[in-house]
Amino acid sequence: MKSDEPKIVAFCCHYCAFAAADLAGVLRLKYPPNVHIIRLPCTGKLDALYVLKAFEAGADGVMVAGCLEGSCHFLSGNVRAKKRVLALKGLLPKLGIAPERLEFFHLSSAQGDRFAQIAREMTERIHNLKESL
Amino acid sequence: MIVADQKPIEEILQMVEPYRKVLFLGCQSCVAVCMAGGEKEVGLLAAAVRLARTQQGRPIEITEGAVKRQCDDEFNEPWRKIIEQQEAVLSLACGVGVNKLSERFDVPILPALNTKFFGEVERQGVWAEVCAGCGNCILHLTGGICPIARCAKNLLNGPCGGVRADGTCEVSHDGPRPCAWVMIYERLGKLNQRKNLEKIFAAKDWSSDRHGGPRRRIREDMLLEG
Amino acid sequence: MESDLQRALASKKFVVTAECGPPKSADRRVIEEKAKLLKDWVDAVNVTDNQTAVTRMSSLAACAILKSCGLDPVFQITCRDRNRIALQSDILGAYALGIRNVLCLTGDHQSFGNHPQAKGVFDLDSVHLIEAVKTMRDEGRFLSGDELVGERPTMFIGAVENPFAPPYEFRALRLKKKVEAGAQFIQTQIVYNIQRFREFIARAGDLGLLDRVFILAGVSPIKTPGAAKYMRDNVPGLDVPTEIVARMEAAGKGIEDKRARAEAWRREGITICVEIIQQIREIPGVAGVHIMAIEWEEAVPEIVHRAGLRR
């Protein structure tokens, strides 16, 4: 992606991050429009392939947003997803992709403001990366 | 099942480096079950390699596929047309699959996996070697626990002095594992068969193992010719 | 009887053996020095076979050097590095060089040594190796049944056992297997836990082994409290009671001068060793001690002297 506005894919858990994104909208909080949300029933559904495919399809960054630790609707989906994200962060540099382009975040459904903040942070982080994808 | 590990991505990238058109061919048997070379791993590895090659500015065309059992010509033959159009095939089967494809097709067949052992699923994500395929089974005498595969020194007459106080083996590179002979001793106790331990197990005839040279099994009654 | 060690044991005296670790070099003088140090104090000297899987001068060669210095060497031979062809061949060679005692071991795993990439052999285990030596000696045949042509190796056959590794109840039974295979003397793992050692000997007695085999208890002086702690916490198959660690610590307490403190520790280490030997001597059925003063051979004469084993 060579556009000025980095394209970010956000894999969001239905029970927290997705609801938080919704809330951010209701509260009319600003966050970058290039954040594309994909709803997962739980971040535990995240497959490493989704992340790689997102990058292949032209994403500049991928964020995975799941419930706060201990609050997963399915008990441990968020913890497992985080492990997969960590493993992928190990793989990415070997493919020539900065690991900072992928991040896992925890938040609750009530944190609309935090969702907007994370989206801004992630966009800014990608902006600041020297090399482009 | 045969347990294998995917090679480091750097090594795989280096192997496919000269090629621009490659078939990534998985196997849907053992290596799929042990999460090393099934359809899913083919997808992941192909995506990773494509990303890397795009980053290098040298895109690669990857065809993805998986066969039922790469160790059997019958299942590989339907892929002939596709294979013959490739510059190389990256096989995600165990070493048997790589050999099998190499015997049949005139394109380079590259191994994506390091084939490790015959193993059991210890728990999700952990596989352990429990059979060494030595060709001469004595499990009926050892309570079903194999000292050839599970003892680092393949001892036949009881544990060496390197057993820790908690009954684990001193040889373990990836976390504690129980001493095979402690396991055998416990198990034979439960089965009321500790008598088995009193007699000396004779020195093993390793000629039935790999040490007798590459092995082959022949079932005359199943041969089609002659 | 061709072996000095065997004669000493047969005479019912309390026997002392020591250990000589070959150098990590081709220097025969290292062996000659150690021979000089030990000569008048022990009945026989074990030569370790690439112990802890670290490559050193071969035990066979070092045994031959000891022999030429007038000592009775015990040739330690492990199954780690040789298959049955090489093992039997080395036994024949050892006998031809005048070596009369052999100690059959499985060997430390190669992953602990300086060549963890090595392929371990483990064709035979120690019980099979004992059998192989006995078959060559008594029946004039190799393990395969093939006939040995000419002079047989009249070896005095030894083995080891570790009373301090689980399953404890199995250890005496394993000892019995070794005796039945042909072991005539046993050297044990280092004894620090006397109580457990007594239990082991009692069990061996129950199995009727004490009249069939000479048991030499392994002992070893401790140099520092750190070494004691390390052995207690990190060495599988060693059982170092906490009292011993405490004694070593107490010995150096309040001594500021480094050298004096090290000396105090050594004194205490030797004292503990001497006390253990005295306790072992009281146990009926124990034929002697095997002193493993690893890279501290100078301690052997003092230990032997203070334990009252030689004048």
Distance, in Å, from the CA atom of C21 to the CA atom of C292, rounded to the nearest integer, reads: 10
Answer yes or no: do B203 and C124 touch at CB < 8 A. yes
Nearest to C171 by CA among B182, A78, A102, B75: B182
Answer yes or no: do A97 and B47 touch at CB < 8 A. no
Looking at the complex, report in whole angstroms how far the Cα of residue B157 sits from the nearest Cα belonging to chain C. Answer: 7
Q: pLDDT-derived band of residue A130, with 50, 70 and 90 as boundaries? A: low
Window 21-80 of B: residues touching A by CB (8 A cutoff) are 40, 43-44, 47-48, 50-52, 54-56
Q: What amino acid is encoded at C76 in this protein?
A: Q
pLDDT at residue B173 in the model: 84
Going across the sheet that includes B113-123, the strands are B2-6, B113-123, B126-131
Looking at the complex, report in whole angstroms how far the Cα of residue B188 sits from the nearest Cα belonging to chain C. Answer: 12
What ipTM was reported for this prediction? 0.94
Enter the pTM of the model: 0.93
Helix axes C258-281, C242-252, angle to 10 degrees: 140
The answer to whether B191 contacts chain A (CB < 8 Å) is: no
| B195-205: average pLDDT | 96
For C174-203, write each residue's pLDDT tens digit: 999 999 999 999 999 999 999 999 999 999
What chain C residue is nearest to B169 in terms of C-alpha separation?
Answer: C236
Q: pLDDT-derived band of residue B80, with 50, 70 and 90 as boundaries? A: very high
What chain B residue is nearest to C105 in terms of C-alpha separation?
Answer: B160
Counting CB pairs under 8 A, whether chains A and C reach 3 or more, is no
Residue count of chain C, please give it. 311
Nearest to C106 among B160, B198, B201 (CB): B160
CB pairs under 8 A between B and C: 102
For B136-183, write each residue's pLDDT tens digit: 999 999 999 999 999 999 999 999 999 999 999 999 888 999 999 999
Q: Which two tokens stand for residue C32?
A: 């000659």
Among C82, C122, C131, C164, which would you mutate to test the B interface (most chain B Cβ atoms within 10 Å of its Cβ)?
C122
Give B129's contacts (C-beta < 8 A, 6+ positions apart): B3, B116, B117, B118, B119, B149, B150
pLDDT at residue A2 in the model: 44
Q: Which two tokens stand for residue C115?
A: 């060549």
Residue linked to tokens 């992606």: A1
DSSP state of C135: I
Count Cα atoms within 13 angstroms, Cβ side, for B137.
8
Nearest to C109 among B159, B164, B171 (CB): B171
Residues of chain A in contact with residue B9, where contact means CB-CB under 8 angstroms, are 91, 94-95
What chain B residue is nearest to A58 in terms of C-alpha separation?
Answer: B51
- pLDDT below 70 — which residues of chain C? 311
What chain A residue is nearest to B9 in terms of C-alpha separation?
Answer: A94
| B43-63: average pLDDT | 98
pLDDT at residue C129 in the model: 98
Contact, C222 vs C272, CB < 8 A? yes
DSSP C237-293: T----HHHHHHHHHHHTT--SHHHHHHHHHHHHHHHHHHHHHHHHTSTTEEEEEE--
pLDDT at residue C1 in the model: 82
Nearest to B47 among A52, A96, A133 (CB): A52
Looking at the complex, report in whole angstroms how far the Cα of residue B152 sits from the nearest Cα belonging to chain C. Answer: 8
DSSP C115-126: -TTSPP--SS-H
DSSP A15-73: TTHHHHHHHHHHTT----TTEEEEEESSGGG--HHHHHHHHHTT-SEEEEEEPPTT--T
Determine phi and psi for B67, rounding to 5 degrees: -110, 160
Mean pLDDT of chain B: 97
Answer yes or no: do B200 and C177 touch at CB < 8 A. yes
Nearest to C22 by CA among C72, C68, C75, C89: C75
The H-assigned helical ranges of chain C are: 4-10, 28-38, 59-68, 84-96, 126-134, 168-181, 194-206, 225-234, 242-252, 258-281, 299-306
For B14-29, write each residue's pLDDT tens digit: 999 999 999 999 999 9
pLDDT at residue A3 in the model: 54
Looking at the complex, report in whole angstroms how far the Cα of residue C91 sits from the nearest Cα belonging to chain B. Answer: 17
Pair type for strands C185-190 and C214-219: parallel
| A32-60: average pLDDT | 97
Q: Which two tokens stand for residue C44?
A: 């026989």
Q: What amino acid is encoded at B110 in this protein?
A: L
Residues of chain A in contact with residue B48, where contact means CB-CB under 8 angstroms, are 52, 91, 95
Residues of chain B in contact with residue C51, where contact means CB-CB under 8 angstroms, are none
Q: pLDDT-derived band of residue A1, with 50, 70 and 90 as boundaries? A: very low
Contact, B118 vs C135, CB < 8 A? no
Answer yes or no: do B56 and A96 touch at CB < 8 A. yes
